[in-house]
Amino acid sequence: MKIHHNLTLFFLTISVLLGCKASSKVEDQKTTTTTQGREQTTGTLLQTIPTIQSSRSSEELLREADTFALTQKDMNFMESAETVRVEEEMNRMIQQIQTEYAHDTAFINAMADAQGEWLAFRDAHLLSRYPPGTYYGSIEPMCVSIEKRILTRQRIEQLRGWTEGIEEGDVCTGSAKFKPME
């Protein structure tokens, strides 16, 4: 199908206009001919999820995207940019945790393992929600971005126990620090 090609061209065009690099990862892609004589491209889900690397902040990209969000492609781009912003927030929290708890190497190693496993879970969940080889239409990248963002926000809430601390009196704090009393 030409959908992936058109989506890739869209993101490359937007990246040039906004001064960022856009890429789309394609794995195991193959083209087959259907019984109706149409070509169909199949591959992994990753071929429809753009990644955005920019010298500009995600907030700047969102503001600019918001001014022209009239088509499904534009909405896909906006959702992707918002998901990138939420992932950046999670990454900042992970870095903060690594800095604050650097003295506890057992915890840092366990947290690194847990974060790696969480990322694997998130990606597997997305693949189960939107299996490869099934066409969900032009809205699919937006839906994938929204689901990814929901999961990432849940992870951010889990990480808050380490960044903000847990109320004193909670006997099950584990490795998390106590929240300063006000």
The answer as to whether 138 is a domain residue is yes
Instruction: List, as own/partner pairs, every contact residues 55-58 make where C-beta atoms lie below 8 angstroms and the sequence separation is at least 24, other chains included.
Output: 55/19, 55/20, 56/18, 56/19, 56/20, 58/82, 58/84, 58/85, 58/88
Residues in the chain: 182
Q: Are strands 20-24 and 30-33 parallel, antiparallel or unpaired?
A: unpaired
Q: Tell me how far apart the alpha carbons of residues 115 and 35 are, in angstroms, rounded to a whole number.
A: 44
Give me the number of domains the chain comprises. Answer: 1
172 located within any domain: no
Residue appearing with tokens 């947290």: 111
80 occurs within a structural domain: yes
**Structural domain of residue 75, as residue ranges?**
3-163
Taking the C-alpha atoms of residue 82 and residue 143, their distance in angstroms, rounded to an integer, is 12
Q: How far apart are CA 29 and CA 42, in angstroms?
A: 6
Determine the pLDDT at residue 171.
83
CA 150 to each of CA 73, 88, 155: distance values in angstroms, whole numbers, following the listed order: 20, 14, 9
The closest of 6, 1, 8 to 25, measured between CA atoms, is: 8
Whether 175 maps to a domain, the answer reads: no
Contact 77, 65 (CB under 8 A): yes
Q: Tell me the three state secondary structure of residue 169.
A: coil
Domain annotation covers residue 35? yes
pLDDT tens string for the chain (182 positions)? 444 444 444 444 444 444 444 444 434 444 444 444 545 444 433 333 333 444 556 666 666 655 555 789 889 999 999 999 999 999 999 999 999 999 999 999 999 999 999 999 999 999 999 998 878 899 999 999 999 999 999 999 999 999 998 888 888 888 988 887 77
Cα 163 from Cα 98, distance rounded (Å) = 10
What would the DSSP string read from start to end of 63-120?
HHHHTT--SHHHHHHHHHHHHHHHHHHHHHHHHHHHHHTTT-HHHHHHHHHHHHHHHH
Question: What is the reported pLDDT for 62?
Answer: 61
